[in-house]
Amino acid sequence: MTPSTPFGNSLTRRELLKAGAGGLAGAAVLPYLGSGAAEAQTPKRGGVLRLTFLGDPLHFDPHQTLSFVTMVPLSFVYSRLLKVKAGPSVKPMTYPLEPDLAESWTQPNDTTYIFKLKKGVRWHPKPPVNGRELTADDVKYTYERFLTITGNPNKPVLEYVDKIDAVDKYTVKFTLKEPNAWFLDLLASTSTWIVAKECVEKFGDLKRVESVVGSGPWMLERWEPNVKLVYVRNPDYFVPGLPYADGVDVLIDKDPSSRLATWLGGKTDFGPEYQHAVRWLDAPVAKQRKPGLQTAEYTWFTSGATGFKLANPPFNDVRVRRALSRASNLAELYESLAFSQGHWTPNPAVPAAFADWSIPIDQLGPEGRKLYEFNTAEAKRLLAEAGLPNGFKTTVEAPATVYGPDFADFIQITLKNWKAAGIDAELRLKEYGAFISSTIFGKFDQMFLGLRGAWADPEAYFYRWYMPGQPLNVWGVNDPKLIDMIKLQRRTFDVAKRKQIVFDIQRYLAEQALFGVDGSIRILSAWDAHIKNYMPNNGFDYGGRLMAAWIDK
Amino acid sequence: MRAYVLRRLLVALPSLLIASLIVFTLPRLIPGDVVQLMLEEKAYGKDLDDLRAKLGLNRPIHVQYVDWLGSVVRGNLGESLWTRQPVLTELERRLPVTGTLGVMALVVAVLLGIPVGVLAAVRQDGVLDFFVRSAAILGLSIPAFVTAILTILLPAMWWGWAPARFVEFSKDPAGYVLQFILPAVILGIASAAGIMRLTRGMLLEVLRQDYVRTAWAKGLRERVVVLKHSLKNAVIPVVTVLGLQVVSIVGGAVIIEWIFGLPGMGQFLVDAIVQRDYPVIQGINLLIVLIIVLTNLSVDLLYAALDPRIRYQ
């Protein structure tokens, strides 16, 4: 992937702000009609997009969960101020921003952002909002609820916001407590949907399906739990002409075999796994059964995660931490998994799926680079150097369910390779619910193995994991040098300079071996030949990426 | 008979009460708390307490139990902690799905198991008997989920055929029934295998009894001897096993519903356990206990219909 700025392949942040001030609203439709075969064809209106999804929404309140099973269904219905651009012109693994409800914005100083909203945007014509105009008061209400509601796990996305003012009907001003160069990216997060006050007042919260009233491209017509979510086109959507499809049927199917069969049987239009991926193991049969199948190969956010406590010997010794990574055979691992079949990318601290922010492995320092070179003898040597010539025994906790068979293979292969180097880890399986409510918050004895990849902003992968006071800093890292770098990058608005700091952070984390090496699968997203003007990408915004897709049947 | 039924129902009450205590307590003993799951990866200490209070989970467990039991007696099973949908409404929607699947699976098990068992017994040690017993062992040893996955996957890979997605009865009555045939056959096969083996064994035993020999001696036709005089006595233990099969079919329905995407109680229960949705877990389990109690009662009542010597007192 060609590196690009976070705001696109050519725009700097300053240019983006300038463009925002100049008004990007007029170009709202154009970005979707990008390059590729679709460009030559005239989009067709109508039809229903059919896809499978892995689970039912936990509920429908975006301020009460960060789970993808809620956020993905909401992406068809809601809008936010900014969004990640979508369409065939956007390379997967890049996340350029574009206006959604915002018409333009300015930044008078480091802690103030003023957004002008598009005029005439209407809520869905459903009670209790009944199609009234969306205004600055709605934005203010949404983010005040976001920041004050009990139990919002997405709070870190905006917790540095001091206040939000509705300056007039179409103007919103954000004042931050401190500069945060990621603010615009975070505003485009799929947790920041603008919600209607009337719905909260009528239903008490937004958990009920009846409370799903947005301003996005489709309206949620009904939810049949364990069966499907049915969406119909929003006739008053604020982007003229969009969406092209009259509806979307999201079939809920928790069984991977059934999802694959449903797709191969022609009952859906997109690959069966998360982000429309098809497992590499199933790709040949899919290509054979679906002539003209369109695919995109890219690295996804999800990857393995190895945790340990720095305060506990032997993990307080950097040589032991390095030995752990040197004993991990990532190539063998990703060759073996049905999902990857050898298609993978090594991850530094920021996952490789952030093409613009993840440091290439060959740009790490010498010690950091070595972590990715599997070498059992070297791992043994490092352990011996650390005073552990016979290796050591430890315990490792991992979830027993939910992550699927590939994760079980991941654990077994990892433990086998560690053992060959003398690291004898006793596996302690935990029920998934127990794992995510205790282990990942630091309630484990020695080590854990899990997954990471829920966050769509690169900063989260070091800020939330390594800043003192953050609940997910399970390692107990409190390193002044690291803290300074993390704080500095937040204050650095120049993208190129910030990128260098973020690279330095990753170099430092690798040098100190403050994580166990891991990789991410290069997934193969697939969609049928009759689906046009579509390109997949990472993140929960299915609706945003599908609104300009059309059906050529 | 009415007095017997009433007495059995009264005896069932303490069982239900004990079961209610178990279904209320056990989900709370599973490590992992619904509040922490709700807050997922960002558990602010204060928010945990607030949320726990908001959901009423900060009260002593015995207070919560009495509160819940009072609601159950009044016909209210509470509402889901996640979706806030009433549990009873959800069960009303899902019970027919699991019920249809279960009944059809039971029908498959009976229609397949008993006749084939009779045939195997009548042709003891013949080719048919050997074939049927082998098939039964195969049916017992292959888990239903393996059969289900292969049944779904192979036709899709070979011919691009996939089973229909779930349709509601009100929208397509015929389609509604048809969609259950494949899962019901798969679910019923394992039960059928057990029933077949038991029917065969019991019938062979009955066929050796004196009164059957007398029937043969009277010159009665094979069909009359087997079906009229022998089978009725042979199926009493089979009926007992049928009662037990209801339990195993309810259990098996969980995975079959999952694989075939049927929105029944099984899927609902699995989701609820994963999410620690206590009212839902309690509601479903209480319903299952009730179904099992009523099934056992029905089986006991059926004995009298099959064997006039049995009297209820």
**Digit-coded pLDDT (tens) for A110-164:** 999 999 999 999 999 999 999 999 999 999 999 999 999 977 878 888 989 999 9
Mean pLDDT of A47-71: 89
pLDDT in tens, A332-341: 999 998 889 9
Residues in contact with B127: Cβ distance below 8 Å, sequence separation at least 6, in sequence order = none
Q: Locate tokens 């797709």: which residue? A: A263
The single-letter DSSP state of residue A211 is G
Give contacts of A283 with chain B, Cβ < 8 Å: none
Confidence (pLDDT) at B47: 67
A261/B152 Cβ within 8 A: yes
Q: Hey, are the CB atoms on A438 and B263 less than 8 Å from each other?
A: no
Chain B nearest C-alpha distance from A155 (Å): 8
pLDDT at position A31 is 34
Cβ neighbours of residue A538 under 8 Å, at least 6 residues apart? A92, A93, A95, A275, A298, A300, A301, A353, A456
C-beta separation of A315 from A372 below 8 A: no
Q: What is the DSSP-derived secondary structure letter of residue A222?
A: E
Q: Characterize the bridge pairing of strands A392-399 and A447-452.
A: parallel
What would the mean pLDDT of A505-525 be, rounded to a whole number? 96
pTM: 0.84
Interface test with A, best of B46, B50, B157 (most A CBs within 10 A): B157
pLDDT at residue number B237 = 85
Distance CA A273, CA A179 (A): 38
Give me the residues paired with residue A102 across strands.
Answer: A117
A26 band by pLDDT with thresholds 50, 70 and 90: very low
- Closest CB from B30, B38, B261 relative to A258: B261
Q: CB B37 to CB A436 under 8 A? A: yes
A253-267, B146-160, B227-241: which range is least confident on average?
A: B227-241
pLDDT tier at A15, thresholds 50, 70, 90: very low
Q: How confident is the model at residue A52, as a pLDDT?
A: 95
Q: Are strands A228-233 and A344-347 parallel, antiparallel or unpaired?
A: unpaired
Cβ-based contacts under 8 A for chains A and B: 154
Mean pLDDT of B175-180: 94
Assess whether pLDDT exceeds 90 at residue A57.
Answer: no
| Averaged pLDDT for residues A293-321 | 94
Please tell me whether residue A547 adopts helix, strand or coil conformation: coil
- Which of A35-39, A154-158, A278-282, B172-176 comes out lowest in average pLDDT? A35-39
Give the residue on B whose Cα is nearest the Cα of A464. Answer: B42
Which candidate in A227, A269, A431, A437 is best for mutational testing of the B interface (most B CBs within 10 A)? Answer: A437
Instruction: Tell me the average pLDDT across A50-56.
Output: 92
Cα distance between residue A155 and residue B39, in whole Å: 11
A254 and B84 within 8 Å at the Cβ level: the answer is no
Min Cα distance A303 → chain B (Å) is 16
Q: Among B38-42, B87-91, B241-245, B266-270, where is mean pLDDT lowest?
A: B38-42
What would the pLDDT profile of A356-366 be if each residue is shown by its tens digit? 999 999 999 99
Could you please report the per-residue DSSP string of A145-184? HHHHSTT-TTGGGTTTEEEEEEEETTEEEEEESS--TTHH
Q: Residue B57 and residue B49: Cα distance in Å, rounded?
A: 9
Q: Which residues of B touch A471 (CB under 8 A)?
A: 41-44
User: Residue A29 has what pLDDT?
Assistant: 35
The stretch B170-189 carries a mean pLDDT of 93
Q: Which residue has the higher pLDDT, A321 or A11?
A: A321
Q: CA of B181: how far to CAs of A88, A186, B64, B104, B186, in Å? A: 43, 49, 42, 8, 9
Confidence of residue A269 (pLDDT cuts 50, 70, 90): very high
Mean of pLDDT values over A407-431: 93
Query: Which chain A positions have a beta carbon within 8 Å of B37's beta carbon?
Result: 433, 436-437
Chain A nearest-CA distance from B85, in A, is 7
Q: How confident is the model at residue A27 (pLDDT cuts 50, 70, 90)?
A: very low
Residues of chain A with pLDDT > 70, as a percent, come to: 92
Between CA A406 and CA A50 the distance in angstroms is 26
pLDDT band at B27 (very low <50, low <70, confident <90, very high): confident
Which of A208, A267, A431 is facing B32, going by the closest CB pair? A431
Distance, CA of A428 to chain centre: 28
| Residue A40, pLDDT score | 56
- pLDDT at B309 (0 to 100): 75
Q: Say if A262 is an interface residue toward chain B (CB within 8 Å).
A: yes
State the amino acid at position B308 in one-letter form.
P
Please tell me which of A67-71, A542-546, B309-313 the model is most confident about, judged by mean pLDDT. A542-546
Calculate how close chain A gets to B195, using CA atoms only, in Å: 29
Mutate to test the interface with A, among B36, B83, B281 (most CBs of A within 10 A): B83
User: What is the full DSSP assignment across chain B?
Assistant: -HHHHHHHHHHHHHHHHHHHHHHHHHHHHSSS-HHHHHHTT---HHHHHHHHHHTTTTS-HHHHHHHHHHHHHTT---B-TTT--BHHHHHHHHHHHHHHHHHHHHHHHHHHHHHHHHHHHHTTTSHHHHHHHHHHHHHHHS-HHHHHHHHHHHHHHHH---PPPP--TTT-HHHHHHTTHHHHHHHHHHHHHHHHHHHHHHHHHHHTSHHHHHHHHTT--HHIIIIIIIHHHHHHHHHHHHHHHHHHHHHHHHHHHHHHT--SHHHHHHHHHHHT-HHHHHHHHHHHHHHHHHHHHHHHHHHHHH-TT----
pLDDT grade for B245, boundaries at 50, 70 and 90:
confident
Angle ∠(B197,B220,B205) on CA atoms, nearest 5? 25
Q: What is the pLDDT of residue A545?
A: 97
Q: How far apart are CA A197 and CA A397, in angstroms?
A: 43
- Round to whole Å and give the CA distance between B8 and B30: 33
**Distance between CA B233 and CA B303 in Å, rounded?**
10
Average pLDDT of every residue of chain B? 87
b/e map of A177-206 (b: 16 or more CB within 10 Å)? eeebbbbbbbbbbbbbbbbbebbbeebebb
Angle at alpha carbon of residue B251, lines to B245 and B252, rounded to 5°: 85
What would you measure as the largest C-alpha separation in chain B, in angstroms?
Answer: 86
**Locus of tokens 């700025």:** A5
Residue A435, pLDDT score: 80
Q: Report pLDDT for A2.
A: 29
Whether the pLDDT of residue A35 is over 70: the answer is no
pLDDT tens digits for range B92-151: 989 999 999 999 999 999 999 999 999 999 999 999 999 988 988 888 888 888 999 999
Which among A205, A207, A437 is the nearest to B33, CB-wise?
A: A437
Report the share of chain A in percent with pLDDT over 90.
76
CA distance A55 to chain B (A): 9
**B59 pLDDT higher than 90:** no
Q: How confident is the model at residue A69 (pLDDT cuts 50, 70, 90)?
A: confident
Interface touch B43/A207, C-beta < 8 Å:
no
Please determine, for residue A22, whether its predicted confidence score (pLDDT) is greater than 80: no
Res B40: pLDDT: 56
Question: What does the pLDDT read at residue A20?
Answer: 42
Amino acid letter at B83? Answer: T
Residue A160: its pLDDT value, please? 93
Given a cut of 60, is residue B42 above it in pLDDT? Answer: no
Q: What is the mean pLDDT of residues A392-421?
A: 90
Tell me which residue in A260, A433, A472 faces B41 most closely, judged by beta carbons: A472
3-state secondary structure A276-323: HEECCCCHHHHHHHCCCCEEEEEEEEEEEEEEECCCCCCCCCHHHHHH
Which pLDDT belongs to residue A294?
A: 97
Chain B residues near residue A154 by CB distance under 8 angstroms? 42
pLDDT at A36: 40
A470 touches chain B (CB under 8 A): no
pLDDT above 70: residue B44: no
**DSSP per position, B61-72:** HHHHHHHHHHHH
Closest Cβ opposite residue B162 in set A153, A226, A262: A262
Best residue of B34, B39, B150, B278 to probe chain A, by most A CBs closer than 10 Å = B39
**Residue pointed to by tokens 């997060």:** A189
Q: b/e for B181-196, b at 16 or more Cβ within 10 A?
A: ebbbbbbbbbbbbbbb
Q: Is 50 exceeded by the pLDDT of residue A23? A: no
Residues on chain A touching B147 (C-beta within 8 angstroms): none
Kindly state the average pLDDT of the residues A285-313.
93
Q: What is the mean pLDDT of chain A?
A: 90
